[in-house]
Chain A
Amino acid sequence: MSDATARLDVERVRKDFPVLATKANGKDLVFLDSAASAQKPNAVIDAIAEHQRTGYANIHRGVYQLSQRSTEAFEDARAKTARFLSAADPREIVFTRNATEAINLVAQTWGRSQLQPGDEILITEMEHHANIVPWQMLCEATGAVLRVAPIDDEGVLRSDAFGELLSSRTRLVAFTHVSNALGTINPARELTAQAHAHGAVVLIDGAQAVPHMAVDVCEIGCDFYVFTGHKLFGPSGVGVLYGKLALLEAMPPYQGGGDMIETVTFEKTTYAPVPHKFEAGTPDISGVIGLGAAIDYVTALGLDAIANHERELLEYATKRLAAVPGLTIIGKATHKAAVVSFVLDFAHPHDIGTILDQEGIALRTGHHCAQPIMEHFKVPATARASFSIYNTFEDVDRLVEAIEGVRELFT
């Protein structure tokens, strides 16, 4: 159960992020683009540097002490990741390059080995391109059919349509836990149960969820859950695929190479047990250890405290932005993460981005790798402010003030 009283000491958190003490265009940096990639705390920076300075060697290979220590640190990060997602077994955690690769891994292994022509994959209209394109490629390769559950004008998945699109032909349901462009939080457990009732396998894209809320894959019941390290204050280059053990064991390997084999002869190769079967070649060892440090960091802050802080920020930002004449918020789900996408009727998002940048405010403008969402709302792009553990009410005030500057210039 979540604790509504847990608090975040934001001033202390801010001191953990060296970039927040820097200037952008001569102004104190206001970083409102954590949904694209989060900033890094000293705990992560130091863990990576320390491993590279004194703890580095390749893993799963050497018999010498340094390699053993490096391997232990790497596998320790896997165990932390499993606990972080409340997974039953660390072997259910596969390290990838990012969430995108984790989705592609499932598409290329589970998908190619399981799908037949006429089978259906169901996704939603609010997916990031990373949860659209791999399935389109899989459909092209197998003859499966991609179906898309629509959203309404608040940016909420239409549960009636979702239910109607499920059938015995549905083999896989893939949906985002939290929409990167709209902030909408999907009811992961309910959708998973609905999909399972039709015998479909469920993959959830949790890239935007894990930095903001406690995630329990057993409670959700999903078969696959993916996320990326860099949005969780960890380094880029490390992603995570959680998969139920029985499913992972039944899946063919992804890439071939070292570390994923048991024995190799020119006649026949046998594969290593999971998760190593899916981790060919030397991985980003220090990156995985950095991800472990990031997980320790957010766990120590407390996911409930993080969620409470971001809820307050979202409420305040929504209130202030909604009061700006000519501003329209895109995505008004009741159940929403701290993301506010908006358009101004007097300036294009790209112009907003440039002008805000001059005020030291970093926010994302564009289609957010979710072109179908832009299509739904009939906008070419939006400006998106995404809030994180280190953002303050003052950041919101600076944003609103800067938008008034855009108005002055443009009207």
Chain B
Amino acid sequence: MQELRELYQTVILDHNKAPRNFGPLEDANREADGHNPLCGDRLTVYLRVDDEDRIADVRFEGAGCAISTASASLMTEHVKGQRLEEVAVDFDRFHELVTGPVNEAPNAEELGKLAVFAGVREFPMRVKCATLSWHTLQAAIGQTPETAKTE
């Protein structure tokens, strides 16, 4: 039960029930769909990236488990206002947080609230849930504004 409480911390349950930045973003200039075929989770990440490569706004929508929904919600809060190169660094940090060795203390100093996902490393089957939104964000960032429009 202790491990479960680690996984389903209050912050995660709260963001699952009331996800932040949820819904389409009208003036998005990039977007991508993410799909985890194993569990059926689907989500779309919308971005507005400004001329200085900064995430001016970010929203998401979709349906998934508590871990994937809360992860997407907390991610949007975290990356809003970040420069794209900062996002790339935090993507790696987040990945390390949820996949690092179980017997090592997670390093979440730079990740703020995202530290609540440290419990995921105890549940290898759930890593994909926690990282789906981040992979989708990365796919959206990789798009040029032109290709996003044609979709």
Do A and B pair up? The answer is: yes
Task: Report the Cα distance A381→B35, complex, angstroms.
Answer: 13
B40 touches A409 (CB 8 A): no
Chain B residues 31 to 71 lying within 8 A of chain A, measured CB to CB, are 38-42, 63-67
Q: Which residue of A lies closest to B66 (CB)?
A: A351
B30 → A minimal CB distance (Å):
25
Task: Report the Cα distance A350→B41, complex, angstroms.
Answer: 10
Cross-chain contact of A366 among B4, B8, B39, B66 (Cβ < 8 A): B39
A358 touches B4 (CB 8 A): yes
B64 → A minimal CB distance (Å):
7
B37 → A minimal CB distance (Å):
8
Q: With A380-B42, A381-B39 as given contacts, are A358 and B65 in contact (CB-CB < 8 Å)?
A: no
Q: Which of B77-85, B106-114, B121-129, B141-149 lies on the face that meets chain A? A: B121-129
Chain A residues 371 to 385 lying within 8 A of chain B, measured CB to CB, are 371, 374, 380-381
B40 touches A381 (CB 8 A): yes
A359 → B minimal CB distance (Å):
9
Task: Report the Cα distance A331→B41, complex, angstroms.
Answer: 21
Binding site for B on A (CB under 8 A): 347-351, 354-355, 358, 365-367, 371, 374, 380-381, 409-410
Q: Which residue of A lies closest to B62 (CB)?
A: A380
Residues of A within 8 A of B4 (CB): 354-355, 358, 409
A31 → B minimal CB distance (Å):
17
Task: Report the Cα distance A347→B70, complex, angstroms.
Answer: 13
Q: What are 24 of the A-B contact pairs (CB < 8 Å)? A: A349-B39, A350-B39, A350-B64, A350-B65, A350-B67, A354-B4, A354-B7, A354-B123, A354-B125, A358-B1, A358-B3, A358-B4, A366-B38, A366-B39, A367-B39, A367-B40, A374-B40, A380-B39, A380-B40, A380-B42, A380-B63, A381-B39, A409-B13, A410-B13
Task: Report the Cα distance A365→B40, complex, angstroms.
Answer: 10
Residues of B within 8 A of A348 (CB): 64-66
Task: Report the Cα distance A351→B8, complex, angstroms.
Answer: 9
Binding site for A on B (CB under 8 A): 1, 3-4, 7-8, 13, 38-42, 63-67, 123, 125-126, 129
A350 touches B129 (CB 8 A): yes
B48 → A minimal CB distance (Å):
28
Q: Is the interface of A mostly helix, strand, loop or mixed?
A: helix
Q: Which residue of B lies closest to A371 (CB)?
A: B40
User: Which 9 A-B pairs have CB atoms at the shortest separation, nearest pair first?
Assistant: A380-B40, A348-B65, A350-B65, A381-B40, A351-B66, A350-B39, A351-B65, A358-B4, A367-B40
- Central interface residue in A354, A358, A371, by most chain B CB within 10 Å: A354
Residues of A within 8 A of B65 (CB): 348-351
Task: Report the Cα distance A355→B39, complex, angstroms.
Answer: 15
Task: Report the Cα distance A408→B67, complex, angstroms.
Answer: 17
Task: Report the Cα distance A347→B63, complex, angstroms.
Answer: 12
Q: Which residue of B lies closest to A350 (CB)?
A: B65
Q: Which residue of A lies closest to B123 (CB)?
A: A354
Task: Report the Cα distance A366→B7, complex, angstroms.
Answer: 20
Task: Report the Cα distance A380→B63, complex, angstroms.
Answer: 8
A57 → B minimal CB distance (Å):
41
A160 → B minimal CB distance (Å):
30
A410 touches B66 (CB 8 A): yes
A347 touches B39 (CB 8 A): no
- Central interface residue in A347, A348, A381, by most chain B CB within 10 Å: A348
Task: Report the Cα distance A355→B8, complex, angstroms.
Answer: 10
Q: Which residue of A lies closest to B40 (CB)?
A: A380
Residues of B within 8 A of A358 (CB): 1, 3-4
Cross-chain contact of A347 among B38, B42, B66 (Cβ < 8 A): B66
Task: Report the Cα distance A366→B38, complex, angstroms.
Answer: 7
Task: Report the Cα distance A350→B125, complex, angstroms.
Answer: 10
Residues of B within 8 A of A349 (CB): 39, 65
Task: Report the Cα distance A193→B125, complex, angstroms.
Answer: 45
Cross-chain contact of B41 among A354, A355, A380, A410 (Cβ < 8 A): A380
Residues of A within 8 A of B8 (CB): 351, 355, 409-410
Q: Which residue of B lies closest to A25 (CB)?
A: B3
Task: Report the Cα distance A371→B40, complex, angstroms.
Answer: 9
Residues of B within 8 A of A374 (CB): 40
B117 → A minimal CB distance (Å):
14
Residues of B within 8 A of A367 (CB): 39-40
Task: Report the Cα distance A347→B125, complex, angstroms.
Answer: 17
Q: Which residue of B lies closest to A366 (CB)?
A: B39
